[in-house]
Every structure is written in C-alpha cells, then in structure tokens.
Structure 1
C-alpha cells in the first residue's frame, strides 16, 4: 500500500482566516517527515479560472465570487512559503471544498498506486472533512494528523477529530505518525 501526505488549503489567503502561529511549523515538521520517509507530498489548493466560470451563483460558499467576479490576486493559489512545495511534489487545483471535486486528484492517486492518504489542512471542518468523506467512499485507507489540521472553532475540531473522523480514519498526532513511518 502506497501512502501519500495530502497538504490542503495552505494558501496565505486561506490561512489569514485561521490565525495560529504554531500551525505552520507543525505542518512543516509533518511534511519533512514524509519527504524523509520517501512519501509523495501532494498539495491541494482551491482555485478558479478568471471570471469564476466554475462557480454557481447559488453556491453558498463561493457564490459571491460568481456575482462580483473580482480579479483573483496572483498569489491566490500560492502555497505558504513556510511549507512550500519542492520540485517533485504534486500540486492539485480543486474547484470546491473537497480535494476531489473538480480536480485530477483521483487520477494522480490511481497513477501512483496510492491507496493510503494522510490528511492535513485548513480547515478541519472544511477541506479535511469533505476530503475524508469522499476518500472513504472511494475505499482509501485514511489517516488524519489532528495537530496538522486547523479550524477556527476548537470545539468543532475536537468533535471531528475525536468522534467523527475515527469512524473512517485513523486519527493520530504528527509525533506518533512519524514513529510509524
């Protein structure tokens, strides 16, 4: 079984809504461990075409973009430099909350014979939850690094990582996961 580390929505534009000075160093530690162990590191960013053609005005999360059509700043899909990809890392662009929706993630996983995903990202109640549910429905083996996920609501993060996610994934910490590599 081939495992990959999924690093999701760590764009400065996203992270600015989730202030936590300790998050990026923790995530960088997990990324370094994955690279040392020879695991593929796959980054997932949310992004849209100019004019936001992929976004319906009825979409509660992204619909305002379809109406206003503001120009996306060039750095909108940039990954935070503290956890920047290296040359062999894969970058996936998604069009919705889940890493699978509107992206070629499934194709990349199948081509690489990747059957085990270790999930990290911002936010626990957004991309991590949506991706976990879809990945579980695709029969992938899943691990969630609870301290490499971030959410504005600590209670929601705790409920998801302690009560919801364990029904479909192994939930652990970066330190424990590193020992298993």
Structure 2
C-alpha cells in the first residue's frame, strides 16, 4: 500500500510587535547576541544588518552565530512547533530541525530588529485534504483497532508542506 509521507514547515516572524512572553524572550536574546557578535564585522559602523551583509559578505555568519542565543528557548518548546494546533486546539507537530534568520535589524534601534524561525516537523502521514485542512497522523505511531489516530490541520499562510514522498508499507 502506498502512503504519503510529508514534513511540514512553519515560519514564525518575531519582531518588536510580538507580545507573547516566549517571543519577547527570543527577540531580546537574539538582539543582545547580534549586538555582541556584529562588533567583529561592523568596523565601518553600518547602521543596519542588511547594509552590513552587503558590504561585508562574511557577516552572513551572523545568522548562525546569533542562532545559539535562542537554542535554550527552543528547548522550552519540548520539541513541539509553537502556534500550530489541530482543529481541536491540540499542539501536534513535533519538530527536529529549525532555521534561524535575521531578516533585518537597525543597530541603533532595537524596535526594528526582525528575525524569523522556520521549524521543520518530523515526518507525518498525509491521508487526504478536506476543505482547507489536511488529515494527518503520526508516521511512527502504531495503528489502533480503529485505524490511525488522526488530526485535522488547517492550512495557514505560515504553514507549508516542506517535503513529500510516497512510501510503500
């Protein structure tokens, strides 16, 4: 039997307008780390991250260097992608990988700091599409006598199917 195995990505933008405590902690920590790490690359006193990267290509490393400041906060999520819930309101997507990016930042104005976290889910089985939702189940969870335990996940702008493959079971 053929089954569809997918990984879902969720992109979360964090800037000064985010009000959730976790978002604010990530925002502040990444801002502080950027200010410390950028000193090495910003010898000519560029005012924004974008200008710095355009003039000093090696400053691209700042994405990676600053990402270490948010790892502890990611652990607080207990491996579950934030903000993504089933139609019943259940957090459901475990993640095993993420990507951190600095969208832009003004070195003189913290309120213009803007970052993005993209979370990549563990593989899930995609059974079908129902309206604006997909019916999925955990790929590693054994089936019950009633079949696979499923969740309806509503498609939203920041949610994407990152990878897709057909597997034979």
Instruction: Indicate the TM-score class for this superposition, using the shorter chain for normalisation.
Output: under 0.3
Higher strand fraction: Structure 1 or Structure 2? 2
The structure having more radius of gyration, on CA atoms, is 2
TM-score normalised over the length of structure 2? 0.25
Q: Which has the higher contact order (CA 8 A, sep 6+)?
A: 2
